[in-house]
């Protein structure tokens, strides 16, 4: 922002649209009057259409206080570069053949284009000349300021301290994950993927079984040979879904695999059948005694 240019621009006898666009350019320029906001940015800033902004720029150029130049960087088309020279305004109007009119009217009489094409839509070879920009400049490109907030780091200004602090990892969750990752590497030879999903799963397991039990349960899980666990390569999500089963197996010192589950089910069925038969025999014996 150039306060010097803005204060001087307020004193010029311009139309409302011309003055508004000129002030917007001054607001974006350095003290040398150089800036390069995009026409779309100026349109939003001045609450105008792109075409209206182009018309106002043309009139300011006709009045002699603004010059524009095509820019490009590494072969890529950039927004135009504008140079503001407010000292040219008075001499231009005094030498004008339309001295009877107000300076603002002079700009309208000299330009008044009927069809103006947005220069950003023209081909690279259209303009007679353009300016090749260096890789570093004192201003931000329009893409960096379209949201109205210029990043302080890119603008060369000190960054503002934010009140938001970087979240620290829960040490209990870290211990649990390290136990799981160590056991996973011992079994599969690689480390498990750590991401936002697994961090959330670890936090839930610690909350379910407690911080004292969680690391041991996570390590024991990798020694469990349940067919579903093995098929899923002991994914942490499997542990979270079946933590009660794994916890019971760890506490009992045995693993309830699919084969053992079928054996247990068969044994239980045989026991129930024998118990039912014994009850029938006892009932029959009691009736015979009567």
pLDDT tens for residues 132-150? 544 444 454 444 444 444 4
**Residue (of 3, 63, 71, 72) closest to 33 by Cα position:** 3
Bigger pLDDT: 270 vs 12: 12
Please state whether 131 falls in left (phi above 0), alpha (psi between -120 and 50) or beta.
beta
Q: Which residues pair with 132 in a beta bridge?
A: 72
The answer, yes or no, to whether residue 158 has pLDDT greater than 80, is no
**What are the domain boundaries of the chain?**
3-144, 171-256
Q: How far apart are CA 110 and CA 27, in angstroms?
A: 26
Map tokens 């009877």 to a residue: 100
- The Cα 226–Cα 224 span in angstroms is 6
Q: Specify the pLDDT at position 261.
A: 58
Nearest to 63 by CA among 30, 86, 35, 31: 86
- What is the sign, positive or negative, of the torsion defined by CA atoms of 268, 269, 272, 278? negative
How many CB atoms sit inside 10 A of residue 290's CB? Answer: 4
Residue 259: what pLDDT? 59
Please tell me whether the overall predicted TM-score, pTM, comes out greater than 0.75 for this model. Answer: no
3-class DSSP state of 193: coil
Is the domain defined by 3-144 classed in CATH 1.10.10.10?
yes
Burial class of 226 by CB neighbour count within 10 A (0 to 12, 13 to 18, 19+): buried
Distances (CA, A) of 160 to 70, 145, 151, 153: 34, 17, 10, 9
Highest mean pLDDT of the ranges 1-15, 112-126, 130-144, 222-236: 222-236
Whether the pLDDT of residue 74 is over 60: the answer is yes
Long-range pairs for 243-247: beta carbons < 8 A, 24 or more residues apart: 243/205, 243/208, 243/209, 243/217, 246/217, 246/220, 246/221, 247/209, 247/213, 247/217
CA 233 to chain CA centroid, nearest Å = 33
User: Percentage of the chain surpassing pLDDT 70?
Assistant: 64
Task: Say yes or no to pLDDT of 50 above 50.
Answer: yes
Tokens of 236: 């942490």
> How crowded is the C-beta side of 96, counted as CA atoms within 13 Å?
23
Comparing 67-76, 114-123, 163-172, 263-272, the range with the smallest average pLDDT is 114-123
Q: What number is the average pLDDT over the span 169-185?
A: 93
Using one digit for the tens of pLDDT, what is the confidence trace for 215-247? 999 999 999 998 899 999 999 999 999 999 999
pLDDT of residue 244: 93
């Amino acid at each position: 922002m150039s306060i010097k240019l803005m204060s001087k621009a307020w004193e010029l006898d311009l139309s409302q649209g011309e003055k508004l666009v000129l002030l917007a350019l001054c607001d974006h320029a350095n003290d040398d009057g150089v800036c390069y906001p995009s026409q779309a940015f100026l349109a939003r800033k001045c609450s105008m259409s792109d075409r209206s902004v182009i018309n106002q720029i043309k009139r300011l150029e006709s009045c002699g206080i603004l010059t524009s130049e095509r820019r490009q960087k590494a072969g890529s088309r950039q927004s135009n570069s504008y140079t503001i020279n407010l000292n040219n305004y008075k001499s231009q109007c005094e030498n004008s053949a339309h001295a009877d009119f107000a300076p603002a009217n002079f700009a309208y009489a000299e330009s008044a284009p009927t069809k103006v094409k947005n220069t950003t839509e023209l081909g690279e070879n259209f303009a007679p000349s353009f300016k090749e920009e260096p890789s570093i400049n004192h201003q931000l490109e329009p893409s960096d300021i379209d949201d109205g907030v210029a990043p302080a780091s890119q603008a060369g200004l000190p960054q503002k301290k934010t009140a938001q602090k970087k979240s620290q990892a829960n040490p209990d969750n870290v211990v649990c994950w390290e136990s799981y990752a160590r056991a996973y590497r011992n079994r599969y030879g690689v480390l498990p993927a750590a991401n936002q999903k697994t961090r959330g799963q670890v936090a839930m397991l610690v909350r379910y079984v407690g911080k004292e039990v969680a690391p041991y349960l996570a390590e024991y899980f990798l020694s469990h040979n349940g067919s579903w666990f093995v098929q899923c390569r002991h994914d942490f999500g499997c542990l979270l879904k079946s933590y009660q089963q794994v916890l019971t197996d760890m506490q009992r010192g045995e693993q309830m695999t699919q084969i053992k589950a079928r054996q247990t089910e068969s044994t239980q069925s045989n026991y129930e059948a024998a118990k039912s038969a014994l009850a029938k025999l006892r009932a029959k014996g009691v009736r015979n005694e009567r």
